[in-house]
Chains A and B, each alone.
Chain A
């Protein structure tokens, strides 16, 4: 066998291996989705979305969980977006490349890998106990903000880094200050990447369960929160609660809620992809 033939066989077999790997992941996901849809799709109707929780599976709805998730989503975005993007801009554009800066950088990268339950414990101690916020929406949002801050900071920095320095030079050379350059050139050119990072981080936050359980989100909340200080539950906790009940009806409810949660997550990821494509097409260097 010649070398060229050997190489071709290796090439071919790796291609097959790659295809198998790809479809293995997809197939498992498909089976999961299939099971959930079969079990839960029929349960989703308007009443399911707008009903309050109940002890009877047929009457139970996900209204409070959906509202809790929306509250958490909005508050977390409002807290994490400005802080994360601000920190990212500072680290990328202003901070001198000193030892302290590289220490910060390593730590932020490390924080992104800390298990979410640890953030829950941190939130419990600081926000719930020291700040006395209790098991409120605000305490939950602050905790989730901590969790996704490293992701947003890293994504922001990557997006800013992708803006060619020639553009910044041109702006500075025309007499623009650093902030004018960031505001007029760097941010508009990188906003697609920044938003993509933020949305992906937030869609991770709405799927989080562990830190919110630690912080004190309740499985049974009879009313939707009406202020940041109210008690709350979110969809993953509601699902977790239903799954652990013995009645078959609740398993069906859980499947239906999973479908709703997945739809929300897919929608957010879709928005992220849309922004990325839209802005990448617009700017070609």
Chain B
């Protein structure tokens, strides 16, 4: 054992590290993004790159623009009157704000989970199958397989397997939110955007969803907006701190929480303001 632990030159160690963990692919990129609501500028010149199979947390006080930015990745801001965006947002190297981009196609790649669980007033099965059905998929065995797989992936299967025809509204809040995640997974997106997904849930349901994110990270790229510092610290690889429309600091979560470079970040995560 001792013999194999030869001391290496720093450069060699770096190369070894690279071999163990090849650099991850960039999946989301924002270049000089400005967002306006009428005359109000909600985001100011944001630049960010987000890697594949990672969890990135957006933190910051209310109204700092983090949710607005999240919604730029699946163009859910499109329906807000007076919304306008400058700069480029690239998903998988494709500019998504191009005129000829079909938003419906984009949203199959970029799923979203909302703050309050919002299941459709339909059965559990129909909720999960919805995204596939609107794509025109009618094959029953295919739909069934996908629904079962998605429910298993969110660890809801054992709780609902005997009542797939029951209304989704009869589930508890935590179950509903996991159902909403399953509904998103069924479409097989690359990216899952989560807008404060646990803020309406009790601690146990929250823990379940956090646990779930660790699993989902293997197959999906997750971007999560959260008001809960501990949550950001627990689950994310990278953290971005927003303040008044600016991206103040972005880096490894450990670094942001233990050794932030900006005073404002320090003040926020230690609870001195916000």
Q: Name A's B-contacting residues (CB within 8 A).
A: 96-97, 164, 166-167, 169-177, 180, 184-185, 188-189, 282-284
Q: Are A167 and B118 in contact, CB atoms less than 8 angstroms apart?
A: yes
Q: Are B183 and A174 in contact, CB atoms less than 8 angstroms apart?
A: yes
Q: Are B114 and A172 in contact, CB atoms less than 8 angstroms apart?
A: no
Complex partner residue of A175 from B118, B135, B180, CB under 8 angstroms: B135
Complex partner residue of B112 from A167, A173, A177, CB under 8 angstroms: A173
Chief secondary structure at chain A's binding surface? helix
B74: A residues at CB distance < 8 A? 173
A-facing mask of B90-127, CB < 8 A → 1, else 0? Answer: 00000000000000110110011010101111000000
Q: Are A172 and B107 in contact, CB atoms less than 8 angstroms apart?
A: yes
Knowing that A97-B81, A176-B131, A282-B121 are A-B contacts, what are 5 other residue pairs whose CB atoms are under 8 Å apart, sorted by A's residue number? A164-B118, A166-B118, A170-B118, A173-B114, A175-B105
- Min CB gap B158→A, angstroms: 24
Complex partner residue of B104 from A96, A170, A175, A188, CB under 8 angstroms: A175
**Closest residue to A173 on the B side, CB-wise?**
B112
A-facing mask of B122-151, CB < 8 A → 1, else 0? Answer: 000000001100110000000000000000
30 A-B residue pairings within 8 Å (CB atoms): A164-B118, A166-B116, A166-B118, A167-B118, A167-B120, A171-B120, A171-B134, A172-B76, A172-B79, A172-B107, A173-B76, A173-B107, A173-B114, A174-B108, A174-B111, A174-B131, A174-B134, A174-B183, A174-B184, A174-B187, A175-B135, A176-B130, A176-B131, A177-B134, A180-B134, A184-B134, A185-B120, A189-B121, A282-B121, A284-B169
- When chains A and B are docked, how far (Å) is the Cα of A97 from the Cα of B104? 23
B76: A residues at CB distance < 8 A? 169, 172-173
- When chains A and B are docked, how far (Å) is the Cα of A282 from the Cα of B105? 32
A175: B residues at CB distance < 8 A? 104-105, 107-108, 131, 134-135, 187
A166: B residues at CB distance < 8 A? 114, 116, 118
Q: Are A174 and B121 in contact, CB atoms less than 8 angstroms apart?
A: no
Complex partner residue of B114 from A169, A177, A282, CB under 8 angstroms: A169
Range for the number of chain B residues in contact with chain A: 20 to 34
- Min CB gap B151→A, angstroms: 16
- When chains A and B are docked, how far (Å) is the Cα of A175 from the Cα of B112? 10
Q: Are A184 and B130 in contact, CB atoms less than 8 angstroms apart?
A: yes
Q: Are B104 and A176 in contact, CB atoms less than 8 angstroms apart?
A: yes
Complex partner residue of A177 from B79, B104, B118, B187, CB under 8 angstroms: B104
- When chains A and B are docked, how far (Å) is the Cα of A259 from the Cα of B111? 59
Complex partner residue of B134 from A176, A189, A283, CB under 8 angstroms: A176
- When chains A and B are docked, how far (Å) is the Cα of A114 from the Cα of B33? 51
- When chains A and B are docked, how far (Å) is the Cα of A171 from the Cα of B183? 10
**Closest residue to B117 on the A side, CB-wise?**
A166
**Closest residue to B82 on the A side, CB-wise?**
A97
B116: A residues at CB distance < 8 A? 166
- When chains A and B are docked, how far (Å) is the Cα of A167 from the Cα of B176? 13
Q: Are B130 and A171 in contact, CB atoms less than 8 angstroms apart?
A: yes
- When chains A and B are docked, how far (Å) is the Cα of A58 from the Cα of B160? 69
**Closest residue to B130 on the A side, CB-wise?**
A174
- Min CB gap B43→A, angstroms: 20
Q: Are B107 and A174 in contact, CB atoms less than 8 angstroms apart?
A: yes
- When chains A and B are docked, how far (Å) is the Cα of A174 from the Cα of B104? 8
Q: Which of B62-89 contact A (CB under 8 A)?
A: 74, 76, 79, 81
- When chains A and B are docked, how far (Å) is the Cα of A171 from the Cα of B121? 12
Q: Are B180 and A170 in contact, CB atoms less than 8 angstroms apart?
A: yes
- Min CB gap A167→B, angstroms: 6
B119: A residues at CB distance < 8 A? 170
Q: Which one of B104, B107, B118 has the greatest number of beta carbons of chain A within 10 Å?
A: B118
A-facing mask of B177-215, CB < 8 A → 1, else 0? Answer: 000100110010000000000000000000000000000
